[in-house]
Each structure stands twice: as C-alpha cells, then as structure tokens.
Amino acid sequence: MRRLAIAFGMIILIFPLISVFAIAETSPEIGVWKLNLAKSKFCNSQPPKNETRIVEPDGDGVKVHMEGVAGDGSRIDFTYSYKYSDSKDSSETGNVVVKRVSAHTFLGTTKRDGKVVGKTRAVISDDGRVMKFFYSGIDEDGKRTGHRTVYDKQ
C-alpha cells in the first residue's frame, strides 16, 4: 500500500512538469526572441533601441516578458500572460485575446477600457527561427499606429 501511495505521489509531482514540456514541444513561440530592427518597420511610433521577448509555458497558456530599451532611452520591462481563446478575454488583465489559428499563426486583439484598440497577427516560420508580428491599432492619444516587427529566435 505504501508503494502505491509513493507511486501516486510521484505521478502528481511529475505530471505538471510533463505538461510544461509538452506545451514547449508543441508551441513554437516558446523561447527567447530578439527584435531584428533592420527587418522591422514602425508607423507613427518610435522604434525601440533593442527589445527581447521571453516566452515561457504558463499552465495551459504562456507568459511573455518583454525587456529592452525604448526609443526615448527609457527601460522596457513588463510581463503578461494569456491562454489561447476562441473569443474570450484571456489575459490576467482581461485586455488581451489570443487565438491560435494554426501551429504557427496567432491572432491577437488588444483592448483598453473594454474597447478594441489593436489587432495583431503573429506568424512563426516553419523552421521556428523567425517570428513576425503585424500590428495595427490606436495609441493612447487616439492616433493610428502600427508596426511590422521581426524577431529572431536565440
């Protein structure tokens, strides 16, 4: 009986680790990504001087940590999490909806005060080494903004 209890306890401890590795194996966005400024374009916004995106498994979703230096020299340092959703707000703040269209394509919607202010399409190359974001939205001042950013996997 004691052996059965120990085996059951081991399964309970190991299962979350297996789940995390399974998400990492099936999610090409997991990893460290550096912004490739030479291949990126910004419309009505100042590009950052550098930016790194760290994407990690987080339960049945992902956690994204962004760090770097903004165009004005200020520090970029924030984290957000989301679960893949068909149409429901899935971030901790309720401001992000991310839908997985295919293994390598994601659609995102960003909200501010309950109103949609941005749409994103993310595409990861078949070899998993390049991730492109196509964003169109409205900034805090009500002006249209957008960017096409390219990230290289590290």
pLDDT tens digits, 6-48: 444 444 444 443 333 444 456 899 999 999 999 999 998 899 9
Residue 70: CB atoms within 10 A of its CB come to: 14
Assigned domain for 79 exists: yes
Assigned domain for 145 exists: yes
Q: Which of 104, 99, 98, 100 is nearest to 81 (CA)?
A: 98
Domain carrying residue 49: 28-153
Number of domains in the chain: 1
pLDDT tens per residue, range 73-114 = 999 999 988 888 765 555 555 577 888 899 999 999 888 888
This prediction's pTM: 0.78
Give me the residue label for tokens 């992000």.
Answer: 96
CA distance 90 to 84: 7
Assigned domain for 20 exists: no
CATH classification of the domain holding 105 = 2.40.128.20
DSSP tag of 91: B
Q: What is the pLDDT of residue 140?
A: 87
